[in-house]
Structure 1
């Protein structure tokens, strides 16, 4: 269990809010990290591991045209995945990961290209087709390192939003 996951669970508990996860390249690692924290059942709604591109549309509501035009490794796709997780799993917050862990490039994107996203009550574009706050990462390392850094990064992004929520400041 990471300290970031423990802090996510703590802050969600303090706020009385919940989180849902949409994962692609991390294949369930984000959900595993959160649920390794004692008390996570109070705040964790569930997750969708949509590894295949068509599942991002069918299960998470990502725009099919966007997927056809940009592929699965895209900022808007990440934002829509987070919004879809939030909406379909009935959570206050949705987080998402999509990217290329390797060994080969995908959708014209280099290995290490990752997008992490959060959608919640105070994120820009929250609940919209546009999705919430998205961070573009260029990661180095092997497949395992890229995946683990993606987990750390999406939890850090959620923590930033939760910390803003705790102070009463909206994060845009």
Structure 2
């Protein structure tokens, strides 16, 4: 995803969140704050972007976000991260990502395996995604997927 595409998507999310009168929060593992950075650079972010938690280490996932201890590259971990950040930041919409960025396998998951939880904290969807490329390309693809998922979720509210 290019910077221009990220900017356009951020502007779309800003418009949708503002129109819906809602807030967004993110919890990130493998993207290490890249989703929050993209959202924070969007128009009037102070009005609709509640913030994010970079939960790179397991203890942050467990102790801060309330993820059940165990493997963290799972659909349930992504879902619990999303619910946890929604609780912490009182957000109307959330997204959370965890995965194996590569270059090798992690927790038995192939490089590029990503779990993305998104939606309202009480009605989350979890997508299992698979991206090719080096770790940087996997991170960029994950950011793109998370921003697109948030935009779709917000568009559903608009009807």
The match for 2:142 among 147, 150, 154 is: 150
Structure 1 outlier segments of 4+, above 6 Å: none
1-side partners of 2:90 and 2:38: how far apart? 20
Q: Cα offset for 1:117?
A: 1.1
- Unaligned runs of 5+ residues in structure 2 are 1-5
Paired residues of 2:66 and 2:84 also in contact (CA < 8 A)? yes
Paired residues of 2:12 and 2:151 also in contact (CA < 8 A)? yes
1-side partners of 2:144 and 2:47: how far apart? 21
Q: Confirm whether residue 31 of structure 1 aligns to residue 36 of structure 2.
A: yes
Paired residues of 1:84 and 1:94 also in contact (CA < 8 A)? no
Q: Deviations over 1:49-97 (max 9, x none)?
A: 0001121111111122xxx2xx111111111111111111111111101
Paired residues of 2:119 and 2:153 also in contact (CA < 8 A)? no
Q: Confirm whether residue 55 of structure 1 aligns to residue 60 of structure 2.
A: yes
The match for 1:136 among 128, 134, 150 is: 128
Paired residues of 1:86 and 1:119 also in contact (CA < 8 A)? no
2-side partners of 1:98 and 1:4: how far apart? 21
| Equivalent residue, structure 1, for 2:151 | 159
Give the number of aligned pairs: 154
- Unaligned runs of 5+ residues in structure 1 are 121-125, 168-172
Q: Cα offset for 1:104?
A: 2.1
Q: Confirm whether residue 103 of structure 1 aligns to residue 118 of structure 2.
A: no
Q: Cα offset for 1:2?
A: 2.5
Q: Cα offset for 1:10?
A: 1.0
1-side partners of 2:14 and 2:68: how far apart? 30
2:83 is paired with a residue whose SS is helix
| Equivalent residue, structure 2, for 1:123 | none
Q: Cα offset for 1:13?
A: 0.4
RMSD in angstroms over aligned alpha carbons? Answer: 1.2
Q: How does 1:59-98 map to 2 (within 5 A)?
A: 59-64=64-69, 68=70, 71-98=71-98
